[in-house]
Amino acid sequence: MDRDVMATRAIASADLGHDLERLLAVSPGSGKGKALPDRAAALQRTHKHIAMLMWIDFDLNQVRTFTSRSPKGSEAEMKQMRRYLAAAKKALKAHRTYESPSFRVGDRSYRLLGQRSEDGRTGVIALLDQDLLSKVEEHQRKNLRLIPYPQEGRYRVESVHTDTLRDMTVKTGHDNENASHYYENEIVVRFRNGHPTGRQLRTIARDIHGGSPRKIGYAYIFKSADMNFSQLRTYFAYKWHPQYTEPHYLYLTNDRVVAQTSDEIMPNDLLFSAYQWNLPAIETGKGWALTRGSGDCIVAVVDTGVQKDHPDLQGQLLNGYNAVTGGGSVPDDDVGHGTHVSGIIGALVNNGEGVAGISWYNKILPVKALDASGAGTTYSVAEGIIWAADHGARVINLSLGNYADSQFLHDAVKYAYDRDIVLVSATGNDNTERPGYPAAYPEVLAVGATNAGAERASFSNYGDYVDVCAPGESIASTYIGSQYAALSGTSMASPHVAALAGLVRSLNPDLTNKEVVELMKKNATDLGSPGHDKYFGWGQVDIYRTLAAAAGEDTPLQLWPQRVREKIRRLESRE
């Protein structure tokens, strides 16, 4: 968690420095100075974490300040901020850049960054609100299960032991390993003889003191005003003899170097070289020489939604769906997780901004199934999967999980799989061998996480159900607030594989979902024990090798030299 916070701080500084350079390109003597207020306002509008911009014209000895939010704190705190501001001005006057330590004003943390233009005529100082770092820390405390999550006593949530379904209390982060969270006053029911009549549903509502149930597929979710799950299960078993009943589970986010060749494509994205170790590790640059994706192959992200106007996702997103609220509401991201996952898959490449996604052209279909707390119900996740399947998805990423084997969710997974969709899911972040769902369903490709040393990430779940692994430690990607963050988790590993599936289906659309999955497993880089093992599955995915295999004998003529060199390299490595 500390590593992710430190990396996010460095990423934020690099990103803001790039923005300040462009602002400094407004030359005071060119007539463009009149556009300065508009540019400053536009920057603060899209980057709400910039609380203040101070423009200094050293030729005219003028200072202009653009404030979007004035910090308010004690006299001592304000005095300290003024000292750092004076130090920033002094540094710029001496033709040096400046970055202050973090300091608090009121209930928020800030930093000051200063830069001077190349010609030395102007300088700019920015006051950066560091709320992003607090969000990353809070997110990773939940995501890496450092604290009990979700908190019992809130949202009418309870927990059961996954094996016995007996009540248990989650007191520590470690207890998450054996816990499956569910809504205490709800139940999922599938009836034996099709669907009940309207009259029968009204009878049930009266008996359990509830309203109209929610229906999806073959199952119904009933909610009672005063009965808990155990009472509801007894009622349905005695009076209705259903095919199955189960808790309405909550699903939580599962967040937590290869030598280059002349054939590799090296994008110019600002953060790529310094922070995106994960892309060279799985031969992404070489893979781009074979395909960069296709707009015809849609990758759905069933998650917390997405920031639709993030500058590094422009043109990459389709109109999605909000399964949390339903209706016509948009799938806005109020957590950051879904935006981060989406950026790993498809952030704009070669635009000189932020990060590079794995796919250049595959469209992303955002589906919000997890709410502002970072959790979602069986119903919302199942509905999200089915909606994505019905709206053109060829690949679905599920960076979420629960240790309970839900038949209701499995029905939704089968629905998508039967429609030739590749389903990819994160294994979880509890460092446990216990199978997590939906990753452990046979129709789903289960993804564990590795670090920069090609070792299993310390938090990554393992077991015989693991199929492949992918980078998952300190992964830089897009984040809400038009920002960037580094996060760790199997949630970050899963979209690497989903993006690869999108590239494979773009290169060879005739492959079935089963064939795509087999290609990714067969061409993974074997790690750990030879062959399949419970820590790495078949190994870490390799984008170039998988795409080369997907191309088969139809590889374009101009790519044959690359293919031949690769075969020679493999032969030499065996000697």
Fill in the DSSP letter of residue 193.
S
Gyration radius of the chain's alpha carbons: 26
Is residue 439 classed exposed, middle or buried when 0-12, 13-18 and 19+ CB atoms within 10 A define those classes? buried
Which one of 19, 263, 269, 303 is the catalytic residue? 303
Distances (CA, A) of 76 to 41, 67, 104, 326: 29, 21, 10, 48
Distance between CA atoms of 497 and 519, rounded to whole angstroms? 12
Is residue 80 classed exposed, middle or buried when 0-12, 13-18 and 19+ CB atoms within 10 A define those classes? middle
Is residue 288 classed exposed, middle or buried when 0-12, 13-18 and 19+ CB atoms within 10 A define those classes? buried
**Residue 2 is a catalytic residue:** no
Distances (CA, A) of 269 to 84, 97, 272, 383: 31, 22, 5, 36
**Residue 273 is a catalytic residue:** no
222 within 8 A of 204, measured Cβ to Cβ = yes
5 within 8 A of 133, measured Cβ to Cβ = yes
Distances (CA, A) of 89 to 15, 79, 110: 21, 15, 17
Distances (CA, A) of 433 to 436, 440, 466: 9, 11, 10
Name the token pair of 478. 């897009």
Q: Provide the pairing of β-strand 393-398 with 422-426.
A: parallel
110: β partners: 103, 129
Fill in the DSSP letter of residue 177.
G
Strands, E assignment, 62-117:
62-67, 98-99, 103-105, 108-116
State phi, psi for 319 to the nearest 5 degrees.
-70, 120
Distances (CA, A) of 202 to 196, 198, 207, 216, 242: 10, 6, 9, 18, 17
Which one of 49, 139, 337, 340 is the catalytic residue? 337
**Residue 47 is a catalytic residue:** no
Q: How many CB atoms lie within 10 A of CB 173?
A: 17
Which one of 491, 494, 506, 542 is the catalytic residue? 491
Cα of first residue to Cα of last residue in the chain, in angstroms, is 42
Name the token pair of 51. 């609380």
Query: Quick one: which H or E segment has residue 376?
Result: strand 375-377
Distances (CA, A) of 137 to 20, 200, 206: 26, 49, 45
State phi, psi for 404 to the nearest 5 degrees.
-90, 135
Crossing angle for the helix pair 2-24 and 131-143, nearest 10 degrees? 150
Distance between CA atoms of 127 and 102, rounded to whole angstroms? 11
Helices vs strands, H then E, count in the chain: 16, 25
Name the token pair of 418. 């039967």
Active-site positions read: 303, 337, 491
